[in-house]
Amino acid sequence: MQRTLITSAIPYINGIKHLGNLIGSQLPADLYARYARARGHEVMFICATDEHGTPAELAAKKAGKPVAEYCAEMWQVQKDLADGFRLSFDHFGRSSSPQNHKLTQHFAGKLDEAGLIEERSSKQVYSNADGRFLPDRYVEGTCPNCGYERARGDQCENCTKQLEPTDLIDPRSAISGSTDLEVRSTKHLFLKQSQLKDRLDAWIDSQDGWPVLTTSIAKKWLHDGDGLQDRGITRDLDWGIPVMRGDEPWPGMEGKVFYVWFDAPIEYIAGTAEWADANGGDWERWWRKDKGAEDVRYVQFMGKDNVPFHTLGFPATLLGSGEPWKTVDYLKAFNYLNYDGGQFSTSQGRGVFMDQALEILPSDYWRWWLLSHAPENQDTEFTWEAFQTDVNKDLADVLGNFVSRVTKFCRSKFGEAVPEGGDWGAAETALIDTLTTRIRAYERHMDAIEIRKAAAELRAIWVAGNEYLQEAAPWATFKTDPEQAAAQIRLALNLIRLYAVLSRPFIPDAAAAMLAGMQTEDDAWPDDVDAAVRVLAPGHAFTVPDVLFAKIDDATRQGWAERFAGGRRE
């Protein structure tokens, strides 16, 4: 049995995520996890909330709550929304967990033993108005690279350039907005990534078939300008993982915490340990190559802005430790999903957010549209017109209409059981051949994590059933040859079960409704398509499912467009 480890980028704790965040990591990761399980893989799918650093402290301050209380509340909110979108995590953890504290401190110690940690004095922005040092994300200003006026002191979210707070033009405090800033010296621990440059370069070159987006970003960071730079891994913050060496405070680092981008990826491992502690499993067999992880295939999903940290920063931690940790085998990166002529933005409250989406439509509508338009090769754009058109065409007209026509016709002419009689002929054989070809292509695209191509192939599989039904016209055949009509409908009812199995990674609720309507728990993958369309034997009872997908009318679409017309969400 193949073992597949899947992680999606862990979302910041500061508020509810928008649809661009969802399609950028968690949703495609869930698609692949569901598919891998359906193909018989043993899957470990891990995600968590990223609870340390500036975003947590600022959000808690704005909410008027202690940061620990705020994080606990928002973890539950994000967990509930993940459940609402049917994200099938094996564990949804927290980067503030005891397991992550222990592992982060362990890695720092191992890196120090390897000579890769160095204490350095660095220049850091101090806010006189706030009476404190400002870690990088506490400083906002204009990006010197692209001119974006809301860039943060670690990275510009507009052009993705890595920054230092002192790089910003017209910097200001993200806490108070004060521009009364000065640069002072402070001491921090630095990970000497530059010493790992050649090893990271060779490791990236050894990866087979990584997306161009992934490798191009990694190589740019390695070779452009001055190349890979050493990185500070501690910060002057109150909330975070204390900088410890063993059971004692790290000398000279008292009162400091580890940098969020050092501890956050370690939560993938810690989250698996959290799962093991809760379920009695063995987390090391997923992560330690000396404990069985050598045969694990590890796949990561993330937006392009996270690629540098996962192709360089996190691997530097794992490789630099000198221990046999599992590193990623395939890293699927995504471009941005834009919103109606602009950008989705959590910080600016622009776009449709996960809770709002579920208020107006069930999750399958969103899952299908987002996945079938996944921004794999370039930025893509959400518009309400495109959403309405594709939902109505693909989900209502093609899939939903097929299920409705077949089950209602059978109930009216043969009753609520699979009819017997008649034989399949050339048309049915041709359909099975077509489906076999298309299902094998669907599998190839899913195996390669080519999401838009897989969605297009799945839709073509639905269309093939509709075209067969239209040409066979059992409602007309019934008038002259009821037994032949029974054979046609028998095949069509079996197609509903087949469509449920194939579609479940994309639209799990609709798939469950189709299987429930067919009154079967047989969800075996169709390795043999001819056998798969004979599972429901004559006499097998079924019920007519409720409408799978309601159409979106123009007035409703217009109302949503006006409601989400770009105003800031508070």
Model pLDDT for residues 372-394, shown as the tens digit of each residue: 999 999 999 999 999 999 999 99
Same fold, 3-104+257-333+352-369 and 335-351+370-570: no
Determine whether the annotation assigns residue 143 to a binding site. yes
3-state class (DSSP) for residue 481:
coil
**How many residues belong to the chain?**
570
Average pLDDT, the chain: 94
pLDDT band for position 566 (50/70/90)?
low
Closest CA to 193 of 229, 164, 155, 224: 229
Closest CA to 259 of 140, 136, 97: 136
pLDDT band for position 237 (50/70/90)?
confident
Residue-level pLDDT at 226 = 76
Instruction: Work out the average pLDDT over 243-268.
Output: 93
Model pLDDT for residues 466-491, shown as the tens digit of each residue: 999 999 999 999 999 999 999 999 99
Q: CATH second-level architecture of 3-104+257-333+352-369? A: 3-Layer(aba) Sandwich (3.40)
3-state class (DSSP) for residue 20:
helix
**CA gap 367, 81 in Å, rounded:** 13
Determine whether the annotation assigns residue 146 to a binding site. yes
Q: How far apart are the first and last CA of the chain?
A: 48
Instruction: Work out the average pLDDT over 292-310.
Output: 95
Residue-level pLDDT at 531 = 98
Residue-level pLDDT at 536 = 98
Q: Residue 263 in contact with residue 273, Cβ under 8 Å? A: no
pLDDT band for position 130 (50/70/90)?
confident
State percent of the chain over pLDDT 90. Answer: 85
Closest CA to 124 of 19, 259, 18, 4: 259
- pLDDT of 144 above 60: yes
Model pLDDT for residues 154-168, shown as the tens digit of each residue: 889 888 888 888 899
φ, ψ for residue 257, nearest 5 deg:
-125, 165
Residue-level pLDDT at 369 = 98
**CA gap 201, 78 in Å, rounded:** 36
pLDDT band for position 175 (50/70/90)?
confident
Residue-level pLDDT at 569 = 52
Q: Residue 147 in contact with residue 139, Cβ under 8 Å? A: no
- pLDDT of 176 above 80: yes
User: What single string gives the DSSP state of each residue in 113-136?
Assistant: HTT-EEEEEEEEEEETTTTEE--G
- pLDDT of 128 above 60: yes
Q: Residue 5 in contact with residue 44, Cβ under 8 Å? A: yes
Q: Which fold has domain 335-351+370-570?
A: Isoleucyl-tRNA Synthetase; Domain 1 (1.10.730)
Residue-level pLDDT at 400 = 98
Q: CATH second-level architecture of 116-249? A: Beta Complex (2.170)
Residue-level pLDDT at 347 = 65
- Which two structure tokens, joined as six digits, stand for 284? 């090391």
Residue-level pLDDT at 105 = 97
**CA gap 278, 8 in Å, rounded:** 21
Instruction: Work out the average pLDDT over 403-421.
Output: 97
Instruction: Work out the average pLDDT over 438-451.
Output: 98
The DSSP element (H or E) to which 307 belongs, if any, is helix 307-308
Closest CA to 434 of 523, 369, 477, 498: 498
pLDDT band for position 301 (50/70/90)?
very high
Percent helix, strand and coil across the chain, each to the nearest 5: 50, 15, 35
- pLDDT of 570 above 60: no
- pLDDT of 365 above 60: yes
Sorted by where each begins, the domain ranges of the chain are 3-104+257-333+352-369, 116-249, 335-351+370-570
pLDDT band for position 138 (50/70/90)?
confident
The DSSP element (H or E) to which 257 belongs, if any, is strand 257-258
Higher-pLDDT residue of 54, 223: 223
Looking at residue 102, its amino acid is: K
Residue-level pLDDT at 224 = 86
Closest CA to 168 of 188, 189, 137, 140: 140
CA-CA-CA-CA dihedral for 249, 252, 254, 257, to nearest 10? -90
Computed over its alpha carbons, how large is the radius of gyration of the chain? 27
Determine whether the annotation assigns residue 346 to a binding site. yes
- pLDDT of 22 above 90: yes
Model pLDDT for residues 56-114, shown as the tens digit of each residue: 888 898 899 999 999 999 999 999 999 999 999 999 999 999 999 999 999 999 999 99
Residue-level pLDDT at 129 = 93
**CA gap 332, 325 in Å, rounded:** 20
Residue-level pLDDT at 279 = 95
**CA gap 487, 489 in Å, rounded:** 5
State percent of the chain over pLDDT 70. Answer: 98
